[in-house]
Structure 1
Amino acid sequence: MKDNIVLGMAVIGLLALNIVTIVYLQYSIQKFTSEEQVTALASGTTMLCLNNPPIDIYEGSCNLTMIWGNRITCQINATDPDNNSMSYAAVFLTDPSLFNVSSIGIINVILDESNIGNHTLRVFAFDDSTCENNAYYEDINIEVIDDNHAPYLIRNIPDQSLRKNNAYTLFLNNYFGDPDNDELTYEALIFNESYISITISNSSLTTIRGLECGLAYFNIIASDPDGLINVSNLVRYSVFGCPLSDSGGSGGGGGGGSSGIDLSCISDWRCSAWGECMPNGTQMLTCRDYKACSYRDYIRNFTRNCTYVPETIICEEKWECSEWSTCINNTHLRTCIDRNSCGTKIAKPNETESCTPIPSCFNGIKDGDETEVDCGGKCGACKVTEQPAQVGINRNLIIAAIISTLAVIIIIIVITPHIKKIIAAYLAKKRLNEMPLYLNNEQKQMILNLMLNIQDLYDDDKHSDAIAKMPQVIKIFFENLVGTDKEVPKSIRKLNNRLLESILIDFHQSTIKTNIKSYLQAFIDKFIAHLFLVAKLNGKDALILPKERENPDAKSIDKIFLELSNIYIALQFHELPEAKYLYKNLLKEYNTFEKEDQKQCYNEILHVYNVIKYLEKYY
């Protein structure tokens, strides 16, 4: 009540003093005719450009030792501190140029024998920011080597005669070699296992022991680490030293002691490579007797244990991109989201492309056919204001003018906060009639009253109570906006306004991740500003909303959040020019910070920039 009486008295005093001054001036002011043109300058948009360049280019899935003749498909990667999307380019510093690297870092090539040797590839990584420091490069050394070769048989393994229960030893490394000097492993394929046993150690020491009298045949299979094999000659071992009854019969006509095996046909066994490892942990090798000495036994299959590696299920990326932005700093921007959330970026479309800016009447630049900044030519005539020339003024007139000026200053100090809010709300209503609204007046008023109650608790130093009530108000806001406080990002996308969707999703995430306790006042002002992005502002609201925040002792990060509060207060009334002005000052303060301090407030500054950009569409 007291404030209303003071306000009324101040208004009456101002009216009375102005009437006296006007009457006096009518007799004192001479006629004048003079005009002066004043050109109005438009304000531009300040772009936020905070970025850390990519670092640490590495070979990713690529083996930098490449074998000619094989198809090589792999991906080079780099690390970006800001987790921006990456694109790549590359150039060989040595001749010849072996291959190209795609924009997503993919190498897909078959090298030939002429490429054998050492090569240096310079790889460039670019993040999707529009800042000047968005690139980084590293030199990668690549060696192209000869193809892998199968083991070879140095000489035939000799046939032997062996007494029963005795053993014969040999080193298989003396009989097999490898062109690539790979370490070989060995297996024995015995075709008469009842007569001999074969044991092979890691050193290739092989022990062949006679079990029963008779003729036994075997092959040795040598394998290199890549699974290429070679098979030895068919080796014959004759086991003797058994009593007549053990040797298979008396044998008339001097033929005693025979095993009964027909030697008229000597088998020619040849074996395939080991097959793929099956889910049961085994792999198969097939050997065939090309002489077919026995029609019942000319194909034999052998198995061994292996480690089965299940096939990796590949997630198919499904990218959806927003519309390209206007041309800013010679660059179009857009945002692409993988709807399948694969977590990979192999097929991600480019989010930036170069462009030539189109002259604009509100970009803060004198371009096109403009005669001044953002006016003249097709932008329309520059504003002209008539300004009176100086006339002779007597002492009484000066005294009256001083008195009137002092009175006006006093009245302005008293009534400006109230009048400013009402005018701002009225202008916002006129200017933003086309802005889509998603909350009705009843919903808006309920949420606004709840938040103002939290503001009262904060003003009374009941910070804990204010913080405790905040989650409930946030939940009510999103329930009224999209019908649920669950799966908010997915629900918000139904608004069909990509920039507003992005702002509200980011705001929702900040309510989860941001330490609200540390900057509660800034968050309250931010919340109310977001409320009036989706609801109508009227004159009644203007009288109860907060005025500018002040804290002369604020330092560093605290000062940034204080300025963010004032920007959001301006945005509550949709005072876009005021918000832009405060934003420019905020950037100047931000640029004086150390990098660690900048990281703490980067996301908040970027968010308020997007809110300004959204309102500018309807201003």
Structure 2
Amino acid sequence: MEKEIILLAFFVLGFLSASYASAQGEGSASGEGIKYATCFPEYTCGAWSSCEGGLQTRVCVDKKCNNRDIVERKLCERPSTCVPDIQCGDWSECIYTDKTTDFFTGKIIFGGYRTRVCEDRNGCVERFEEEGVCSEVVKLELVKRKICDNEFLVAVEPKTKREVAKINLDRWRDGQIGISFLVGGESGYCPSCFNGVQDNDETGIDCGGSCRPCSKKKESQFKEIVALSSWLGFLIFSSLLAYAVVKQKSRKLKRRK
């Protein structure tokens, strides 16, 4: 039964993954510097330029996601007795420009570009910067959690431990689709903390206990309202009682006459 639930969870999450990806804001692999998108870049490169300074260049354009162009360079022959000896440094860290979330396969794909500096030890070619595409695949973790007396299957990013989406398994068993994508995070409080009623372990209306703490100001105002309501109720009751007594005496006097 559990295997069937997990397979169904993957299927529905995969079907709705595009909605989640398009709702994301900008961030990085850890939450900053990444433009969340629904596509992964596909670069198409043009023809090589003529040989200038011992190098040929060409521009590669991303026709699918419209990301920045990448310039590629390679050595070319020219009439000279100088023989280049190109040495390139290490690649920089990947500068991520895209993030694709694929719940169907349970992974997140980060895509972008990286750079490195190349020099000619013989001085035949000027120093230049080389660029290349790069990507990283992060597997999602699926864990079962008990939230507000309901059982959920939660998709978690392994690095940041941030919850990406969750499925209400109790509703799933009842034939309902209870999926939510956690784009901006959640308050961490149960729905009963926002129903306008003092219930469960609350010490005030929608506050205290497992809900958000009650502010002293609100508690004081609540006590004042209760005291004022009690006083007004007593005053109204006393007035009605006095009116009834006076009216009854008036009737007795009329009968005697």
TM-score, L = length of structure 1: 0.12
Q: Which has the higher Rg, Structure 1 or Structure 2? A: 1
Higher strand share: 2
Higher helix share: 1
TM-score, L = length of structure 2: 0.23
